[in-house]
């Protein structure tokens, strides 16, 4: 083991027994474990935030099945590199060896042509592809390739899992166990790791290496002090990705166009994917502005399409215009709250029957059973409205959508009160 290796690399698990978290896909009786035990692994996409074990899981699969393992990073690999890896895998087949695993980190950064170059080899079984991505593969991976892969979602590590990793590192790491290290407070380590095992180990190592004594006590103040001194370290490695996008979102939500454009500039200067930023703006438009200004969603959607067509550097102007428009728009999360309340209601009440009057009645038998009976066709009434009950009996009268206090929804509230009388007079 090299003393020059970072702690996170030294502590990388070699087997599923040592693998932290992700019990839903790698634990006992889980899909991946069963496939490993059967010796048959399909091509797959591992989707999750940084530091949750995507690369580690791919390596464990390769080691356990004794497959050749080739790895590429989409950041600095091209079609030529993909073809070379495929050719190496073809040569392996001449010796009756199982097909190689080709691991592509950050596969979402591969262009369409680069992804196209993988299709034939995946289809013919020349390689088993394992792609890792922090972005939704539905947006970033071409449909023909995605349809040939299983998609597994990896989650941020929980507190107990992170504490277990700290304990293992202190007891088993060749370098750390030579010191008398005591963690008297772990809150800062956990908070700033954000469920990311690699960041957790980086923080731990940062504090330990800054101490000359063999006896080291780690507390929250010490972690914060060392973190502030070395913040540039985390910027360079992209560790602040989620912090900065969070600041951007909260600035737009908080109606501060100055901060919104500043954090946008930080992301662009750091090389953030413009499609990622544009997608966040679409989500923001629906979640935080919603019915207070329905045009926000239209503009954000057009922004996403435009940045795809234009690219950088001009895309910065489109993103800036959209961010300022959203930041200066009135805000409402009523649609967001309504659907979450409705989903919670469905979860609590189950599959309630559809009222007979609003059921479809395509057959005579259904009509005889009362399907559609007494249904009032709204367009047959003045103002295209008549009172009708559309919810199941068990939740009749339940209010799910609550208009909020902005000009647009005040107009909506007036209309609802006109139609539904006392029901919306709250």
Query: CB count, 10 Å around CB of 306?
Result: 19
Q: What is the dihedral angle through the alpha carbons of 13, 16, 18, 23, rounded to the nearest 10 degrees?
A: 120
Which of 339, 420, 337, 353 minimizes the C-alpha distance to 391?
A: 353
Could you tell me if 203 and 189 are in contact, meaning their C-beta atoms sit under 8 angstroms apart? yes
| Distance, CA of 188 to CA of 169 (rounded, Å) | 17
The DSSP code for 182 is E
Q: At what angle do helices 315-327 and 274-284 cross, to 10 degrees?
A: 20
What pLDDT score does 387 carry? 82
What pLDDT score does 367 carry? 67
CB burial of residue 163 (10 Å; 0-12, 13-18, 19+): middle
Average pLDDT, the chain: 85
| Domains of the chain and CATH, by start | 21-153 (3.40.50.300), 159-236 (1.10.8.60), 241-327 (1.20.272.10), 351-424 (no CATH)
- Percent of the chain at pLDDT above 90? 24
pTM of the model as a whole? 0.59
Q: Are strands 215-218 and 180-183 parallel, antiparallel or unpaired?
A: parallel
Could you tell me if 61 and 129 are in contact, meaning their C-beta atoms sit under 8 angstroms apart? no
| Distance, CA of 101 to CA of 394 (rounded, Å) | 54
Could you tell me if 79 and 118 are in contact, meaning their C-beta atoms sit under 8 angstroms apart? no
DSSP element (H, E) containing 183: strand 180-183
Residues of the chain with pLDDT under 50: 1, 232-239
Cβ neighbours of residue 8 under 8 Å, at least 6 residues apart?
A: 51, 197, 198, 201, 202, 205
Condensed to tens digits (0 to 9), the pLDDT of residues 205-236 reads 888 888 878 888 888 888 888 777 665 443 43
Could you tell me if 119 and 145 are in contact, meaning their C-beta atoms sit under 8 angstroms apart? yes
What pLDDT score does 237 carry? 41
Give CA separation, 385 vs 371, 392, 397, 413, in Å. 21, 20, 17, 16
Which of 28, 45, 46 minimizes the C-alpha distance to 37?
A: 28
What pLDDT score does 232 carry? 45
What pLDDT score does 426 carry? 56
Cβ neighbours of residue 123 under 8 Å, at least 6 residues apart?
A: 148
Could you tell me if 423 and 399 are in contact, meaning their C-beta atoms sit under 8 angstroms apart? yes
What pLDDT score does 187 carry? 87
| Distance, CA of 412 to CA of 158 (rounded, Å) | 43
What pLDDT score does 262 carry? 92
What pLDDT score does 1 carry? 47
What pLDDT score does 59 carry? 92
């Amino acid at each position: 083991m090299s003393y020059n290796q970072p702690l996170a690399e030294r502590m990388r698990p070699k087997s599923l027994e040592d693998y932290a978290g992700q019990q839903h896909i790698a634990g006992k009786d889980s899909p991946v474990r069963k496939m490993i035990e059967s010796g048959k692994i399909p091509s797959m996409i591992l989707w999750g935030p940084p530091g949750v074990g995507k690369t580690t899981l791919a390596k464990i699969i390769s080691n356990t099945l004794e497959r050749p393992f080739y790895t590429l990073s989409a950041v600095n690999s091209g079609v030529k590199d993909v073809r070379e890896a495929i050719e190496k895998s073809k040569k392996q087949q001449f010796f009756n060896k199982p097909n190689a695993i080709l691991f592509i980190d950050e596969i979402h950064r591969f262009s369409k042509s680069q992804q196209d170059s993988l299709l034939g080899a995946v289809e013919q079984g020349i390689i088993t592809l394992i792609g890792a991505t922090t972005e939704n593969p539905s947006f970033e991976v071409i449909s023909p390739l995605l349809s040939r892969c299983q998609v597994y979602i990896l989650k941020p590590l929980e507190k107990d899992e992170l504490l277990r990793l700290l304990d293992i590192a202190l007891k088993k790491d060749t370098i750390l166990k030579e010191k008398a290290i005591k963690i008297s407070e772990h809150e800062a380590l956990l908070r700033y790791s954000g469920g990311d095992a690699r960041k957790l180990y980086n923080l731990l190592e940062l504090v330990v290496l800054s101490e000359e004594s063999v006896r080291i006590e780690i507390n929250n103040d010490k972690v914060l002090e060392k973190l502030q001194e070395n913040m540039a370290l985390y910027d360079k490695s992209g560790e602040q990705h989620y912090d900065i996008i969070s600041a951007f979102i909260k600035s737009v939500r908080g109606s501060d166009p100055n901060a919104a454009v500043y954090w946008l500039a930080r992301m662009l200067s750091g090389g953030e994917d413009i499609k990622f930023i544009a997608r966040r703006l679409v989500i923001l438009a629906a979640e935080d502005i919603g019915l207070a200004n329905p045009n926000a969603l239209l503009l954000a959607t057009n922004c996403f399409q435009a940045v795809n067509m234009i690219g950088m550097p001009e895309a910065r102007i489109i993103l800036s215009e959209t961010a300022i428009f959203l930041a200066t728009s009135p805000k409402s999360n009523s649609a967001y709250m309504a659907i979450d309340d409705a989903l919670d209601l469905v979860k609590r009440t189950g599959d309630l029957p559809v009222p007979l009057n609003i059921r479809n009645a395509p057959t005579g038998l259904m009509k005889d059973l009362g399907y559609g009976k007494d249904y009032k066709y709204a367009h047959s009434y003045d103002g295209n409205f008549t009172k009708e009950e559309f919810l199941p009996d068990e939740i009749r009268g339940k209010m799910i959508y609550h208009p909020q206090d902005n000009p647009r929804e005040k107009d909506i509230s007036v209309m609802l009160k006109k139609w539904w009388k006392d029901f919306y007079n709250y």
